[in-house]
Amino acid sequence: MSAGAVGRAYPRLEGREKVTGTARYAVEYPTDGVTYGWVVPAAVVRGRITRVDTDEALASPGVLAVLHHGNAPRIAPGPQPELWLLQEPAVHYRGQFVAVVVATSLEAAREGARLVRIDYDTGSHSTVLTDDHPGLYKPEHVNPSYPTDTVEGDFDAGYAAAPVRVDATYRTPAYHNNPMEPHATTARWHDGRLLVHDSTQGAAPVQATLAELFELPRESVRVIAEHVGGGFGSKGYAKAAVVLAALAARHVDRPVKLALTRQQLFGPIGYRTPTIQRVRLAADADGRLTAVCHDAISQTSTIREFAEQTAVYTRSMYAAPHRRTTHRLVRLDVPTPFWMRAPGECPGAYALESAMDELAIAAGVDPVELRIRNDAAVDPDQGQPFTSRNLVACLREGAQRFGWAGRDPTPRARRDGRWLVGTGVAGSSYPARARPSSASVTARPDGSFLARIDATDIGTGARTALWQVAADALGVPPERVEIRIGDTDLPVAPLAGGSMGTASWSWAVVRACEALRGKLRAGAPPGTEVSAEADTTDEVGGQPERPRYAYGAQFVEVRVDADTGEVRVNRTLGVFAAGRVVNPTTARSQLIGGMTMGLSMALHEEGLLDERYGDWVNHDLATYHITGCADVESIEAYWLDERDDELNPAGVKGLGEIGIVGTAAAVANAVHHATGVRVRDLPIRLDKLV
Ligand code: MOS
């Protein structure tokens, strides 16, 4: 790859379109004869619909139809039972979408939804996760396919014999994904073919799911997702909105636009499961770990099993001879949890990196030094050397930039007027994966190039990064390259998720560019277009199994009001080792975005569930608090110049998730340093500090 575009800061290619409002999102495409769908959520937790009265709704001006289980088009039961919508009278959780009103205007649809009357038979329900729930069980594996439990050595014996021990239980609440653009779809049918503009992290998985549900060949479904206003995991697969829009469009035989409201995102789209995590650490007098155990409990629904891989982080992070991790799950009458930025690693790192801070205090070792002493050259889980592991370098550079040296470890030792000041650190890691992809590139007679790939840019800057990679792989200035993404008519590619988008897509783009250069060298007739394609299925599948991870170190300084317990974050600083950074502008935005979401987890976000009601009671951004700009006083993200040849042709590890991992623990550790109070159940509210 010739030096050039990669590594340089370019603004997003679609930036101007986005800020001027001309970039079109899923329900913004002008559509002839369009109608509007509005969903009706179930008003009970668990039960059965006994009657749907649509008379009043249908009499309301503009209402065209009310779809429900009694009249909706039939669909096949696909692999995701929660998408088998409007097919049966059963209600599995409060808020489940049980009807859709279609009308000639959005307002008419909304009014129609208000007028639908539904009667239910209800049963008792259980919606609160506890560590002694009678329904606790051991799932067969955890997301996506990790072993449920792992054992090495003899944890109990190792723990009992150690001079320094920590035994602590950490709790995290439910967290709700709130992308700026809600789940939204425009669907239309024409000659038995289905066209959807969907807000999704992956057009191809949506296409596959729709084809399955509607029993169509894949080629009969086209999914376009040119611009997507965020997802954080919640749009990783087809979700309710696209299925309901397609059902409604078929029923009324007109195009349908359907967007969920902000309130409707809290549950039905998936959420981060609450967790209860017991972590036990044992060490010798120097703080070298001898025994590590992480037992994680989380929840799933009665509809489908989703088992968060909460303790997986602990398997590869720090070395110790005696190690055990377990996952247990309980089925509750709740919506199915799903991916939210770094599922597993994020809540798991909160627990382990908090426990490491407790161990540092118990052992009398500086918490940065403690992590350095427990670094692992060989993956404790896979037993193989990491392709690259620069956790220690991140810790060292972070400590230096943050000004960690000389820190007095004594809690409540620093005071600034009425504020207690404290600092905290945490480690961070996230797997660097890649999946097979395909791409094509065309050389045009005018000297320009067109790269085509069904990648998705959910706001990350992926489009711009791939354009830079393509330019370098072609050996031309990026101005001569055009890139098209976000459409299943383009070469098939995996979703934007698991921090593996850029790794997977750039691999195929580089190979397609190389193939094109080969063809051009062989000579092409002047004035003609020359195209080449690549498919990395064999190459990615044939890559040796090796532990590949990105690393980071998070440093936080907080001040806590000594009288009120109010927590403010003075500084957040992260140093990351994530392979080659394609675009410093968009990379920084991913990292500080992840770190901000980690601050939000530490201090603000909390789904509050009321067992009597059987649902979260805070269903909007007025009552579900998130970190805002005013809460982020100083945030800095740095990265090491890391080269790892055992990843992928672009040498990237992925940056979407590493920023959130560890941040909440760094905040909790800083709060402990400031106040002497160890908060083990997030969020850190002021009532827990006074
Ligand atoms: Mo991300 S939670 O893997 O989309």
Question: Is 132 part of a structural domain of the chain?
Answer: no
Contact 654, 500 (CB under 8 A): yes
Which pLDDT value is given to residue 526? 80
Say whether both 614 and 575 belong to one domain: yes
Which pLDDT value is given to residue 594? 98
Say whether both 535 and 552 belong to one domain: no
Amino acid at 286: D
Say whether both 389 and 528 belong to one domain: no
| Ligand 1: nearest atom to the Cα of 340 | 2
Instruction: From 518, 541, 564, give the residue that closes a domain.
Output: 541
| CB of residue 498 inside a 6 A radius of ligand 1 | yes
Among candidate residues 402, 396, 383, the one with its CA nearest the CA of residue 427: 396
Which pLDDT value is given to residue 288? 98
Say whether both 296 and 417 belong to one domain: yes
Instruction: From 487, 514, 541, give the residue that closes a domain.
Output: 541
Residue-number span of the structural domain to which 670 is assigned: 141-175+271-432+546-688
Which residues, at least 6 apart from 538, have a Cβ–Cβ distance to it below 8 Å?
A: none
| Ligand 1 atom 3, closest CA | 498
- Cα of 204 from ligand 1 centre, angstroms: 16
Which pLDDT value is given to residue 419? 98
Buried b vs exposed e over 501-531: b needs ≥16 C-beta within 10 Å? bbbbbbbbbbbbbbbbbeeeeeeeeeeeebe
Each residue's pLDDT tens digit, 53-111:
999 999 999 999 999 999 999 999 988 899 999 999 999 999 999 999 999 999 999 99
- Cα of 597 from ligand 1 centre, angstroms: 13
Question: Is 6 part of a structural domain of the chain?
Answer: no
Say whether both 204 and 341 belong to one domain: no
Question: Is 577 part of a structural domain of the chain?
Answer: yes
Question: Is 101 part of a structural domain of the chain?
Answer: yes
- Cα of 373 from ligand 1 centre, angstroms: 31
Structural domains counted in the chain: 3
Mutation probe of ligand 1 site: the residue of 239, 310, 341 with most atoms within 8 A of C-beta: 341
Among candidate residues 173, 198, 194, 196, the one with its CA nearest the CA of residue 184: 198
Mean pLDDT of successive 10-residue stretches along the chain, which has 690 residues: 83 97 97 98 98 98 98 93 97 98 98 98 96 97 97 98 98 97 98 97 98 98 98 97 98 98 97 98 98 98 97 97 98 98 98 98 98 96 96 98 97 97 98 98 97 98 98 98 98 98 98 97 88 98 97 98 97 98 98 98 98 96 96 97 97 97 98 98 96
| CB of residue 335 inside a 6 A radius of ligand 1 | no
Which residues, at least 6 apart from 463, have a Cβ–Cβ distance to it below 8 Å?
A: 12, 13, 14, 455, 457, 483, 485
Backbone angles phi and psi of 406, in degrees to 5: 80, 5
| Ligand 1 atom 4, closest CA | 233
Which pLDDT value is given to residue 3? 61
| Ligand 1: nearest atom to the Cα of 498 | 3
Say whether both 492 and 419 belong to one domain: no
Say whether both 282 and 339 belong to one domain: yes
Instruction: From 485, 515, 541, give the residue that closes a domain.
Output: 541
Say whether both 166 and 184 belong to one domain: no
- Cα of 407 from ligand 1 centre, angstroms: 36
Which pLDDT value is given to residue 211? 98
- Cα of 319 from ligand 1 centre, angstroms: 27
| CB of residue 574 inside a 6 A radius of ligand 1 | no
Which CATH number characterizes residue 257's domain? 3.30.365.10
Q: Which of 345, 397, 606, 657 is catalytic?
A: 657
Residue 368, both tokens: 């940065």
Say whether both 407 and 478 belong to one domain: no
Give kind and range of the element (H or E) at residue 667: helix 663-675
Say whether both 77 and 191 belong to one domain: yes
Residue 419, both tokens: 């504020």
Known active-site residue 482: no
Residue 82, both tokens: 């929660």
Say whether both 397 and 451 belong to one domain: no
| CB of residue 497 inside a 6 A radius of ligand 1 | yes
Say whether both 92 and 208 belong to one domain: yes
Which pLDDT value is given to residue 384? 96
- Cα of 317 from ligand 1 centre, angstroms: 20
| CB of residue 491 inside a 6 A radius of ligand 1 | no
- Give the angle 650-501-486 at the CA atoms, nearest 5°: 115
